[in-house]
Structure 1
Amino acid sequence: MHTLIASPFLGQYLVLRPGHVKGVGIPETRYEELRAAVDVGRPAPSWLNDAVTAAWGTPLPAGDLGDLLLVRDPSPYGYGKASWEINLGCDHDCGFCYLGEKRFEGLEWNDKVRLLTMLRDAGVLWLQITGGEALIDRQFAAAYEYANDLGIMVQISTNGSQLHKTRMQELFARLRPYRLTVSLYGATAATYDAVTRNRGAWDRFSRGLDASREAGLPVRLNIVISDENAHEIDDMVRLAEDRWSFPYQVFSNMSPTIRGEASPLASQAAKHLKPRRVFTGCNAGHTFFHVDPHGIASICKIGRDPSVNLMTEGLTALPRLGNIAESLQLRTGGCSGCTKVGICRTCRPLAKLYQEAGDNRSLYCQHGGYGA
């Protein structure tokens, strides 16, 4: 397993250490120097050892540079980040889930390999593997290891239900993710199990977080607030700060499902609604994209239609996402002629889902009083 990755990234060049967010920017000339050194078997240049020591506090291990450093080739596609739902199946049944019905289905192993290879070839350096619940996919460990072998920096989004298992802790000790984003749904067994509709879920979750803290894994908590657990928000924050000492974010705004169903909105804790920041555009479809369990790529997790099927059309279809992204941001339907375009806090694809879910403007639109 390589110790370092050298890679192009959106017009820049980076040296990265798997399992760590921090990287080192280098000029193109030094990136090409590393490519040549690996190709002809030259030792590591002294500047690389100095950069590694400065960035991560330890010198470059002894050994052949080709064994220590993976140099990724440039990509003609211009993407740098992606997210992938390895499977939508989940062992929790939270009423506010934006995925709605979660069917356990996805690609077979050979197609997972093909998809991950396409992501690498598209230029993706940073990948979020999510679900459903990613860690319950029977091929998660193999897919995670293969992504690492390709020189992809992996973040995992999980409900934490599997982190107490020895095999998961051993996997992440051997191949450290650069981030584990774990959702927190309550501060007591009664509340947590009620929200997830899964008896014993709190016990498994808390043991997994304890094990992850002991192992020094890079966990970040997403504290999700609903009407069922809002009374424990202060206790959840205290758990994050005092018991586990993990960084955290608090999320309180529910959204419709990806199919425009309103069911998650019933779980909204109304007094905890927070105004979103003004939406000024994003790079979805241009430098970032999302892939569902069947290999269908869209601009993001929200704007899923139109899309391109990577498994049937191949990588050459991916650049169509740029035009799709531009078309999805056009203000049509309930947003046509809006007088608050310049201060709108909701991206157009998300507004469309709210409109399909019943157009309760108080939840997303400043005309409806939201964020006034």
Structure 2
Amino acid sequence: MHQLIASPYNGKFLIARPGSKGGMRIPRTLYEELASTAESSSPLPAWLLDHALTAWGLDLDLEGTVMRETVLVRPETRLGYGRATYEINKGCNFNCEHCYLAERKFEGLSWPDKVRLLHLLRDAGVLWLQFTGGEPLIDRDFTDAYTLAHRSGMLIEILTNGSRLHRPEIINLLRDLPPHKVTVSLYGATPGSFDALTRKPGAFKLVEKGLIAAHEAGLALELALIITRHNAHELNAMHALAERYGAGSQEYSTISPTYTGTPEPLAAQAPGFLDKTSVFKGCPAGHTFFHVDPHGLATMCKVGRENPVDLMTEGLDGLFRLPGIADAQMLRTGGCGGCQLSGTCRVCRPLAKAYQEAKAPLNTYCQHGEEETR
């Protein structure tokens, strides 16, 4: 099994190690040197041995270490998509109040079609792949899909609620084939707040078991702290949980409507926790990044799902249409007209459209709403 990946990425060439941070940008000449010996029994070049030891403490200067067993060299492709998210299933074992999915149906591709889809992602140039849902770990094909993506030379992030991380078949897989990162959504620091938001009794205990198992397995772990009306008073305790399990953490305080434009999730918003600081400065969605839903429909991202490309019928050629589809969604003004603040919007146009269709309060997504509340 490969220990290093050499891959094109957005016009550059990188060397990465699955499950580890850090990497190396190399010139085309060194990438071509690796590509020319990728399937051979040649020893690893001295410059690569030195870097592996410096960057990761990885000693590859051992007897019997050869290129074809150690370094997976990803070929250049016609497309420049370095990242993708794969919503393997919309089904979920939680029923979170704030969920952006209007429906959480447990459905998707058959296993043979999942194999074909993952090969298409590989051939599109995807190096960083995020498995998401719904809850990806409950998909019947998750372990096989993860294994195939990992062995295809993708660096994988799993976005999960953590409820199944403790299961032996999951934790053993991730220990043997380490992900780039496991991001667990944290919905509170106590059973009362956590179970209220997820609307599942016992959810907090399940997630704690998963965090313990992931920490003991040495997985790269991050907690997404989802701040809502149920848990805002526990924010410090949520940060303390992240520290306890050796995890990084990011706060997410603004609740959006469903991405189909219905308002139900907005009721979970914690008063005083709207993010009013960041300004939307553009996004590569549809150009160097894309999203795939459970049926193999590719869109610019999780939010902008108009005019999807059916990868299962169009194949890679369909992705050449995606930049134009993305640009059309980003340029549309929708319910905004003659705005003098458009250069400092905090949300992209597809997300603003979802807010508008949900008839959300203006202050939740637009600076004009701030003027009304003064």
Aligned position for 2:339? 338
Aligned position for 2:325? 324
| Partners of 2:40 and 2:67 within 8 A in 1 | no
Q: Please say if 1:309 is aligned against 2:310.
A: yes
1:137 aligns to what? 139
Does the CA-based 8 Å contact 1:37-1:43 persist in structure 2? Answer: no
In structure 2, what residue type is equivalent to 1:329? M
> Which consecutive residues of structure 2, in runs of 5 or more, have no partner in the other structure?
none
Aligned length: 371
Superposed CA RMSD in Å reads 1.4
Moved more, 201-210 or 126-135: 201-210
Shift of the alpha carbon at 1:35? 1.1
- Residue 207 of structure 1 deviates from its aligned partner by 1.3
Distance 1:44 1:201, change over 3 A: same
1:230 matches 2:232: yes
Q: TM-score, normalised by structure 2?
A: 0.96
Describe the superposition over 1:216-242 as per-residue Cα deviations: whole angstroms up to 9, x where unpaired.
21110001011112222222122222x
Distance in 2, Cα, partners of 1:126 & 1:228: 33
Aligned to 2:69: 67
**What amino acid is the match of 1:29?**
T
> Which AA in structure 1 matches 2:36?
A
Whole-angstrom CA distance in 2 between matches of 1:107 and 1:39: 32
Q: Give the secondary-structure state (helix, strand or coil) at the position aligned to 1:7.
A: strand
Deviations 1:87-132 (A, max 9, x none): 0000000111001220000111001000000001001000000010
Residue 129 of structure 2 corresponds to residue 105 of structure 1: no
Deviations 1:157-216 (A, max 9, x none): 000000111221111110100100000011111221221111211111111111211222
Distance (Å, rounded) in 2 between the aligned partners of 1:42 and 1:108: 39
CA contact (8 A) 2:100 2:257 kept: yes
Q: Deviations over 1:279-305 (max 9, x none)?
A: 111110000000000000000011011
Give the Cα–Cα distance (whole angstroms) in 1 for the partners of residues 192 and 159 of structure 2.
24
Aligned partner letter, 1:33: E
Q: SS in structure 2 opposite 1:160? A: coil
- 1:221 corresponds to which residue? 223
1:68 and 1:245 mapped to 2: Cα distance?
Answer: 29
TM-score (norm 1): 0.97
Gap regions ≥5 residues in structure 1? none
Counterpart Cα distance in 1 of 2:266 and 2:277 = 16
Q: How does 1:45-124 map to 2 (within 5 A)?
A: 45-60=45-60, 62=62, 63-124=65-126
Counterpart residue number, 1:169: 171
Q: Distance in 1 between matches of 2:61 and 2:4?
A: 10
Cα deviations by residue, 1:294-335 (Å, 9 ceiling, x for unpaired): 000000011011211101111101011101111111142211
Contact 2:363 2:369 in 1 (8 A): yes
Q: Aligned equivalents of 2:303 and 2:61: distance in 1?
A: 43
Per the TM alignment, residue 42 of structure 1 is displaced from its structure 2 partner at its CA by 2.2
Percent identity among equivalent residues?
52
Higher mean C-alpha displacement, 261-270 vs 56-65: 56-65
Query: Structure 1 stretch 213-222 or stretch 55-64: which is displaced more?
Result: 55-64
Counterpart of 1:337 in 2: which secondary structure? coil
1:31 to 2:31 alignment: yes
Mapped to 1, the partners of 2:277 and 2:39 lie a distance apart of 49
CA displacement at 1:358 relative to structure 2: 0.7
**Matching of residues 191-202 of structure 1 within 5 Å:** 191-202=193-204
Distance 2:106 2:277 in 1: 32
Task: Give the secondary-structure state (helix, strand or coil) at the position aligned to 1:163.
Answer: coil
